[in-house]
């Protein structure tokens, strides 16, 4: 059963001089326990579509539904905080917080007790292959692949059911890209997350259960 559903969604950017139809009538359903890749050339609407799935923006036409309810009717701050975990290409770690503190931070915003937040952070960091030797390091002391693992651990600590990732391997070499792909694949298949990744990386597309090809804002067959 679908946890997330796009129903004929459109998104138009309007300025004083023009209207750009970035997404045009995309419909698709996304289920837990599956790994999805969204691919296409730059400017095809991938990131705009992901933004609507994340509740960062609302469709100008159509609906995005989470558990059967339109995101337009949800408390979108709560939806983004509790139900969506967003992973970006640039990691977005806090440079003056340790690895463990970075993962604890979103839980502290939700008033999770410090002891439980620390235990959860430890568990999630181990899930992505980082042991205690990393916990007290600052992000600048880590490789790009290690920073992305911390970002994934932080996303997992939210207890969200949906993981959305925008070019998560874009800054990584082949070996680290392969490690991140394996983690995302495992999170979908072994842990039951709905994982949706926007990517140019053919390795992610090859590992995905479903690949959505976008062209000029539309979903196309390949």
> Max alpha carbon distance in the chain (Å)?
55
Cβ-proximal residues to 152 (8 Å cutoff; 6+ apart), any chain: 87, 128, 168, 180, 183, 184, 187
Q: What is the 3-state secondary structure (H, E, C) of 39-61?
A: ECCCCCCHHHHHHHHCCCCCCCE
Distance CA 112, CA 110 (A): 6
On the 0-12 / 13-18 / 19+ scale of CB atoms within 10 A, 186 is middle
All residue ranges of the chain with pLDDT < 50 are none
Q: Would you state the pLDDT for residue 222?
A: 64
Distance CA 121, CA 107 (A): 9
0.85 exceeded by pTM: yes
- Residue the block writes with tokens 């999630």: 124
């Amino acid at each position: 059963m679908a946890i997330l559903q796009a129903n004929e969604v459109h998104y138009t950017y309007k300025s004083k001089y023009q209207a750009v139809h970035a997404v045009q009538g995309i419909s698709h359903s996304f289920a837990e326990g599956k790994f999805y890749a969204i691919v296409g050339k730059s400017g095809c609407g991938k990131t705009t579509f992901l933004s609507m799935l994340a509740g960062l923006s609302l469709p100008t036409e159509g609906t995005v539904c989470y558990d059967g309810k339109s995101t337009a009717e949800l408390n979108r701050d709560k939806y983004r905080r509790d139900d969506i975990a967003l992973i970006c290409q640039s990691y977005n770690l806090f440079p003056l917080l340790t690895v463990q503190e970075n993962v604890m931070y979103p839980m502290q915003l939700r008033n999770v007790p410090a002891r439980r937040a620390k235990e959860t952070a430890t568990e999630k960091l181990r899930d992505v292959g980082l042991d205690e030797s990393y916990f007290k390091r600052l992000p600048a002391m880590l490789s790009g692949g290690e920073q992305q693992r911390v970002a994934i651990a932080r996303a997992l600590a939210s207890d969200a059911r949906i993981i959305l990732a925008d070019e998560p391997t874009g800054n990584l070499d082949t070996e680290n890209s392969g490690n991140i792909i394996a983690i995302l694949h495992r999170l979908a298949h072994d842990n039951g997350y709905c994982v949706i990744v926007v990517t140019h990386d053919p390795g992610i597309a090859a590992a995905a259960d479903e690949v959505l090809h976008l062209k000029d804002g539309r979903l196309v067959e390949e």
